[in-house]
């Protein structure tokens, strides 16, 4: 029983550390255009993450073409184009 408890605590610690670190989702470019898509889903990223990625991708500014999210607010996707 003691060993099982130790393993559960270790797994919980690793899972929490991964959530805190998180991993940013990539920006994908549509074919031969200035249009891009990115997701900022989950608990680690938010809409601000999508906008920061758009600013990095388009240093001269960008226009949001479409924003999608689910009713729970966990899935977020933004399509944008560089100016």
Q: Residue 52 domain-assigned?
A: yes
Domain around 49: 24-82
- pLDDT confidence of residue 56: 94
7 pLDDT above the threshold of 90? no
Which token pair is 72? 């729970």
- pLDDT confidence of residue 21: 45
44-82 pLDDT, tens per residue?
Answer: 888 999 999 999 999 999 999 999 998 887 889 999 999
Average pLDDT, the chain: 80
Total domains, the chain: 1
- pLDDT confidence of residue 57: 95
Q: Residue 69 domain-assigned?
A: yes
pTM of the model: 0.69
């Amino acid at each position: 029983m003691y060993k099982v408890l130790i393993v559960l605590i270790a797994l919980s610690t690793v899972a929490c550390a991964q959530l805190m670190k998180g991993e940013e989702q990539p920006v994908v470019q549509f074919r031969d255009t200035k249009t891009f898509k990115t997701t900022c889903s989950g608990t680690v990223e938010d809409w601000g993450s999508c906008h920061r990625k758009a600013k990095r991708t388009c240093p001269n500014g960008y226009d949001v073409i479409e924003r999608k999210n689910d009713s729970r607010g966990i899935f977020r996707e933004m399509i944008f184009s560089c100016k």
